């Protein structure tokens, strides 16, 4: 099965150091090209401060209209909307829609607080059918703990739909009713889908959200690096990252690198049907209640150089329909339930209906 068992007295110390490095979001050497880069996006030089447009930032008054006014004040060439430190109460039902050629630049002490609501769908920030957008700094705090309804699963912190050339960096998203971040497509008036393209997510922490830390749906060329996705749970699937495009289109050319994915109620990372050319590399994937990596119907994917440990249902599971999957250079420890018929099945389980799977000899189990 291309997996070696090795007892190493120094393995525990090395694993701890590796985990700490990832938790601190320190870069590690790359084994492949395609890591996320915080690209500069095209925009004008105009700067607008949300405070100058009436935002109070006191956590009590609704600042949604002020944020909208600041964005509307940008000229056609675009520019930067600055959000100084403070607590800005925003209404996700109305939402704040970003425009093309803009940077929403939040100071480290800026928090966008979602106003409690009962809506099934509501988004704090939305980038739909736009291009050349950057979102950086600050926090988005969802209203999961004060949600007024019981239905729906689409109360997202940041929703990106049908957008091109978007960078999200240095952002903390937590406690959303749905996903911390969701990337997918939009539909034109004629019903034709428009995927999101050239999306970079880097140095982002998505913690304690109800449905997913990050969903990647209908999209092309998405790069996720140096992020943490943790403690997701409350409604299915409950994954740290779920690559799951809607029927009728695909997610293609996705790289997830140097991320920490831990403590999620579902799988750490799920690669679902219609997902193509996904690479998961140099990540720490640990202590998830599902599998570390679960692939169902995904094709032409690479799972390379990860530390996969203490995931309740097993390390990697390749289910029916998985095809063209390469698994190499991974380190496994303590995955699955004790007492399984074969120890390696707790680390890598391959369905008889998975095809063209390559399990390299350089994977190893550390006791």
pLDDT tens digits, residue range 111-153? 999 999 999 999 999 999 999 999 999 999 999 999 999 999 9
pLDDT at 81 over 50: yes
**Which pLDDT value is given to residue 191?**
77
Contacts of 109 (CB under 8 A, 6+ apart): 84, 85, 86, 138
CA 363 to chain centre: 26
**Which pLDDT value is given to residue 78?**
98
Annotated domain spans of the chain: 3-34+104-366
**Residues 253-269, mean pLDDT to the nearest whole number:** 98
152: nearest Cα among 93, 96, 70: 93
CA distance 212 to 232: 6
Other CB atoms within a 10 A radius of the CB of residue 234 amount to 14
* Structure confidence at residue 292 as a pLDDT band (50, 70, 90): very high
Residue-wise pLDDT for 24-57, tens only, equals 333 343 444 444 567 789 999 999 999 999 999 9
Strands, E, within 246-336: which ranges?
251-257, 260-262, 269-271, 275-281, 284-286, 291-295, 302-304, 307-309, 314-318, 326-328, 331-333
Choosing among 2.160.20.10, 3.30.2130.10, 2.60.320.10, 3.40.50.1110, the CATH entry for 3-34+104-366 is: 2.160.20.10
**Which pLDDT value is given to residue 352?**
93
Other CB atoms within a 10 A radius of the CB of residue 88 amount to 27
**Which pLDDT value is given to residue 190?**
76
Residue-wise pLDDT for 300-313, tens only, equals 999 999 999 999 99
CB contact at 8 A, 174 and 141: yes
3-state DSSP assignment of residue 12: helix
Residue-wise pLDDT for 147-158, tens only, equals 999 999 999 999
**Which pLDDT value is given to residue 233?**
97
CB contact at 8 A, 161 and 127: yes
Other CB atoms within a 10 A radius of the CB of residue 358 amount to 11
pTM of the model: 0.90
46: nearest Cα among 74, 76, 71, 82: 74
* Structure confidence at residue 4 as a pLDDT band (50, 70, 90): low
């Amino acid at each position: 099965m291309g997996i070696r068992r090795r007892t190493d007295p120094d393995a525990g110390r090395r694993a701890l150091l590796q985990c700490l490095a990832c938790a601190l979001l320190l870069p590690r050497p790359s084994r492949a090209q395609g890591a996320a880069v915080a690209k500069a996006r095209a925009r004008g030089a105009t700067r607008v401060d949300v405070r100058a447009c009436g935002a109070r930032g006191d956590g009590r008054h609704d600042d949604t209209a002020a944020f909208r006014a600041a964005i509307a004040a940008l000229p056609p060439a675009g520019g930067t909307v600055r959000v100084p430190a403070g607590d800005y109460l925003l209404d996700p039902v109305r939402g704040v829609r970003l425009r093309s050629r803009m940077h929403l630049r939040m100071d480290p002490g800026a928090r966008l607080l979602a106003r409690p609501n009962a809506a099934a769908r509501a988004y704090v920030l939305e980038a739909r059918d736009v291009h050349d957008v950057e979102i950086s700094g600050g926090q988005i705090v969802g209203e999961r703990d004060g949600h007024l309804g019981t239905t729906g699963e689409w109360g997202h912190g940041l929703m990106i739909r049908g957008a091109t050339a978007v960078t999200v960096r240095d952002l903390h998203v937590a406690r959303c009713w749905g996903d911390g971040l969701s990337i997918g497509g939009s539909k034109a008036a004629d019903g034709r889908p428009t995927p999101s393209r050239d999306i970079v997510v880097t140095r982002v922490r998505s913690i304690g959200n109800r449905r997913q830390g990050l969903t990647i749906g209908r999209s092309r060329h998405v790069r996720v690096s140096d992020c943490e996705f943790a403690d997701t749970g409350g409604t299915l699937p409950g994954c740290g990252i779920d690559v799951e495009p809607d029927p009728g289109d695909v997610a293609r050319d996705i790289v997830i690198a140097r991320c920490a994915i831990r403590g999620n109620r579902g799988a750490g990372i799920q690669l679902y049907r219609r997902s193509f050319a996904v690479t998961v590399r140099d990540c720490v994937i640990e202590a998830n209640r599902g599998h570390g990596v679960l692939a169902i119907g995904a094709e032409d994917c690479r799972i390379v150089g990860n530390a996969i440990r203490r995931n309740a249902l097993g390390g990697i599971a390749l289910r029916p329909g998985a095809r063209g999957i390469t698994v190499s250079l991974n380190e496994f420890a303590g995955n699955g339930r004790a007492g399984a018929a074969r120890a390696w099945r707790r680390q890598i389980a391959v369905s008889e209906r998975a095809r063209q799977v390559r399990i390299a000899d350089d994977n190893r189990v550390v006791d």
